[in-house]
Structure 1
Amino acid sequence: MINLSTPREHVALITLQRPERRNALDLNGFRALADAWRSIAANTPEIRVAVVTGGSDFSSGADLGSFASDVAAALRGGEPPQQLWGDVHHALLRDIIMPVPVVAAIEGHCLGAGMELVGATDIRIAAASAGFALPEVRHGFMASGGSVARLPRQIGYAAAMQVLLTGARFGAERMREWGFVSEVVADGSALQRALEVAEQIAQNSPVAVAAVKHAVGEGLRGSLAEAFEIETRISDGLFVK
Structure 2
Amino acid sequence: MTIERDGHVLLIGLNRPEKRNAADFAMLQELCLAYGELDRDPELRVGLVFAHGDHFTGGLDLGDVAPRIGANGLDLVPDGGLNPWQVEGEFQRKPVVIAVQGMCLTLGIELALASDVVIAADSTSFGQIEVQRGILPFGGATIRFPRAVGWGNAMRWMLTGDSFDAAEAHRIGLVQEVVPHGTQLQRAREIATRIAAQAPLAVQATLANAREAIRDSDARAEQQLQPELVRLAASEDAAEGMRAFVARDEPSFRGR
The DSSP-based 3-state class of the residue aligned with 1:84 is coil
Q: Which runs of 5+ in 1 are unaligned?
A: none
The aligned residue for residue 103 of structure 1 is 97
The aligned residue for residue 159 of structure 1 is 153
The aligned residue for residue 21 of structure 1 is 19
Aligned partners of 2:103, 2:230: CA distance in 1, in Å? Answer: 42
CA contact (8 A) 1:103 1:124 kept: yes
Once the two structures are overlaid, the 10-residue window that deviates more, 80-89 or 195-204, is 80-89
> How far 1:217 sits from its partner (Å)?
1.7
Deviations 1:129-163 (A, max 9, x none): 10111100001000011110111111111111112
1:84 and 2:75 are equivalent in the alignment: yes
If you compute each CA radius of gyration, which structure gives the higher value, 1 or 2? 2
Deviations 1:91-124 (A, max 9, x none): 4333432121100011111101111111100000
The aligned residue for residue 177 of structure 2 is 183
The aligned residue for residue 36 of structure 1 is 34
Distance change (3 Å), C-alpha of 1:89 and 1:123: same
TM-score (norm 1): 0.89
**Identity across the alignment (%):** 35
- Match 1:137 to one of 97, 116, 131: 131
Distance change (3 Å), C-alpha of 1:110 and 1:235: farther
> How far 1:239 sits from its partner (Å)?
2.4
The aligned residue for residue 3 of structure 1 is 2
Aligned partners of 2:73, 2:233: CA distance in 1, in Å? Answer: 40
The aligned residue for residue 120 of structure 2 is 126
> How far 1:84 sits from its partner (Å)?
1.6
How many residues get paired? 231
Moved over 6 A (4+): none
Give 1:54's aligned amino acid: A
The DSSP-based 3-state class of the residue aligned with 1:90 is coil
- Match 1:117 to one of 104, 111, 115: 111
Aligned partners of 1:133, 1:222: CA distance in 2, in Å? Answer: 29
Structure scoring higher RCO (CA < 8 A, sep ≥ 6) equals 1
The DSSP-based 3-state class of the residue aligned with 2:159 is helix
Once the two structures are overlaid, the 10-residue window that deviates more, 125-134 or 226-235, is 226-235
CA contact (8 A) 2:9 2:196 kept: yes
The aligned residue for residue 199 of structure 2 is 205
TM-score (norm 2): 0.84
Distance change (3 Å), C-alpha of 1:142 and 1:230: farther
Give 2:203's aligned amino acid: V
Distance change (3 Å), C-alpha of 1:131 and 1:235: farther
Distance change (3 Å), C-alpha of 1:226 and 1:103: same
